Every structure is written in C-alpha cells, then in structure tokens.
Amino acid sequence: MRAEDREAGVALRMQDAQNGYLVILIPQGAKGGTHGLYLLKRVNGSENTLAASRGSLPGTGRWATLAVEAGGNRIQVSLKGKRLIDHSDAAAPGFAAGKIGLRIYGLAEAPCHASFRNARVQ
C-alpha cells in the first residue's frame, strides 16, 4: 500500500506499536488504485499481508460496517455483513492478546474519516 492512499481500519492484539495485527480498508476510488480489505501482521514494524479481498468494497465517501472477530489463532473480517476474510495464523509469533484501536490515514488533499460506533470486546 502506498502513502498517498486513504485507509481506515482496526488494530488488534497489539503488543506495542511494532507488533500485532491490522485490518485495513482502502475504499474504491482511493488514490493509487490499491483498494481492498487487508489483514496484515506487523512484526518488529514490518508488515506482511496475511489475507486480502477486493470484493464488495465501498467507494470513497461511503460508510460501511466493518466487523473483526478473533478467537485462538483465527481472525475473521466481515464488511457490510459479508465475511470476506477468514484466516488462521499459526506462524510464530502469534499474538493471542493485546490492545485494540482505530487506525486512519489520509493526506490534507485526501482526508480519511473513520469512527467507532460500537466496539464490543468479550
């Protein structure tokens, strides 16, 4: 993904800023043409794509419900009620717990707006 893209997502099971999982949504129409829904694993600051989907994505300026479920080594990601990513990560290091957060990125000429409406951690 390139720096000029707009993106929003969820950080989960974060050990610190350098280690954990990220779910990133880059909407259709974002600058750079890399739209998609991505599950990334960050280890020591380096991000690797574990899974990706380009189906059923909202365009820029549209809202969509993003749901992320994590249990054991499995992470499932749904967008607008449709499961698009179902991934099991057995590779070390596997992060079983950690902090969650909202991740947004945009530039002044292409801002990104995102918010939590409901966050439920069980």
Would the pTM count as exceeding 0.75? yes
For the domain made up of 7-105, give the CATH fold.
Answer: Jelly Rolls (2.60.120)
Closest CA to 24 of 88, 101, 107, 82: 101
Residue 20, pLDDT score: 95
Contact (CB, 8 A) for 106 and 6:
yes
Give residue 26's pLDDT band: very low, low, confident or very high (50, 70, 90). Answer: confident
- In this prediction, residue 3 carries a pLDDT of 39
Which pLDDT does position 1 carry in this prediction?
Answer: 34
Asked if the model's pLDDT at residue 56 lies above 60, the reply is yes
Task: Taking residues 38-51, report their average pLDDT.
Answer: 95
**pLDDT (tens digit per residue) in 59-114:** 666 777 888 999 989 999 998 889 999 999 988 888 988 998 887 776 666 666 66
Domain range annotation of the chain: 7-105
Give exposure, 102-120, as e/b (b: 16+ Cβ within 10 Å). ebebbeeeeebebeeeeee
108: DSSP letter: T
- Reading the block at residue 13, the tokens are 């099971």
